[in-house]
């Protein structure tokens, strides 16, 4: 399944396409600067194997890396992640099983918690569970 150019904006009530020079480069208030509607939160920075697998994932869901707000939980308060608008994916092996691979709808976002990239990459079952969730979030019309 292929997403038509510009159709990503249909996922959101308000979608703004900003030119590169419209964004401030200050980093003292990151929360107010980010305009991206897809947040990917990781426990730690990715190693090469995780990066390769992650690139396959975003390619499969037809998303560019530039469309993502990548954050690392060791550098950010988890409560700030839950406050983000749009789609929020949290990649963490330490999340309890009953909270994984379920899309949770909140007032501000669609939240998906999964295992870490390495664990998913080494399990066909987890890949299938992740893919079903990603299809629902990004590829199927809701």
Compute the distance between CA of residue 6 and CA of residue 10 in angstroms, rounded to an integer.
Answer: 8
Domain count, the chain: 1
Q: Which pLDDT value is given to residue 23?
A: 39
pLDDT value at residue 4: 54
Enclosing domain of residue 50: 30-139
Q: For residue 92, tell me if it sits in a domain.
A: yes
pLDDT at 31: 37
Flag whether 25 is in a domain: no
pLDDT of residue 5: 53
pLDDT tens, position by position, 104-121: 998 889 999 999 999 999
Whether residue 5 is contained in a domain is answered as: no
Residue 85 belongs to a domain: yes
Strand order in the sheet with 86-91: 68-72, 38-42, 86-91, 109-114, 103-105
The span from the CA of 75 to the CA of 138, in Å, is: 27
The tens place of each residue's pLDDT in the chain, 142 residues long, gives 445 555 544 444 444 444 444 433 333 333 333 446 899 999 888 999 999 999 999 999 999 989 999 998 876 677 888 888 899 999 999 888 888 999 999 888 999 999 999 999 999 999 999 999 999 998 876 5
- Write out the H or E segment, with its range, that includes residue 40: strand 38-42
Place of tokens 């092996």: 93
pLDDT for position 33: 35
The answer to whether residue 76 is domain-embedded is yes
Which tokens is 71 given? 């954050």
Report the pLDDT value the prediction gives residue 27, as an integer from 0 to 100.
34
Q: Which residues contact 23 (CB under 8 A, 6 or more apart)?
A: 33, 35
Phi, psi (degrees; rounded to nearest 5) at 87:
-105, 130
Please tell me the distance from the alpha carbon of residue 86 to that of residue 96, in angstroms, as a whole number.
23
In a domain, 55, yes or no: yes
pLDDT of residue 74: 76
Q: Which pairing describes strands 38-42 and 86-91: parallel, antiparallel, or unpaired?
A: parallel
Residue 107 lies in a domain: yes
Q: Which of 35, 91, 14, 73 is nearest to 81 (CA)?
A: 73
CATH of the domain at 87: 3.40.470.10
Q: Label the pairing between strands 103-105 and 109-114.
A: antiparallel
Residue 21 lies in a domain: no
Question: Against a cut of 0.75, is the pTM above it?
Answer: no
């Amino acid at each position: 399944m292929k997403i038509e150019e510009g159709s990503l904006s249909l996922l959101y009530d308000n979608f703004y396409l900003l030119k590169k020079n419209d964004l401030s480069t200050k980093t003292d208030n990151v929360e107010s600067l980010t305009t991206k509607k897809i947040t990917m939160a990781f426990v730690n920075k990715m190693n090469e194997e995780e990066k390769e697998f992650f690139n396959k994932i975003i390619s499969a869901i037809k998303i560019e890396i530039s469309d993502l707000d990548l954050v690392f939980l060791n550098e950010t308060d988890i409560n700030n992640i839950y406050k983000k608008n749009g789609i929020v994916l949290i990649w963490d092996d330490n999340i309890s099983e009953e909270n994984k691979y379920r899309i949770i709808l909140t007032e501000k976002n669609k939240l998906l918690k999964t295992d870490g990239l390495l664990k998913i990459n080494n399990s066909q079952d987890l890949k299938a569970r992740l893919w079903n969730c990603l299809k629902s979030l990004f590829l199927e019309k809701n």
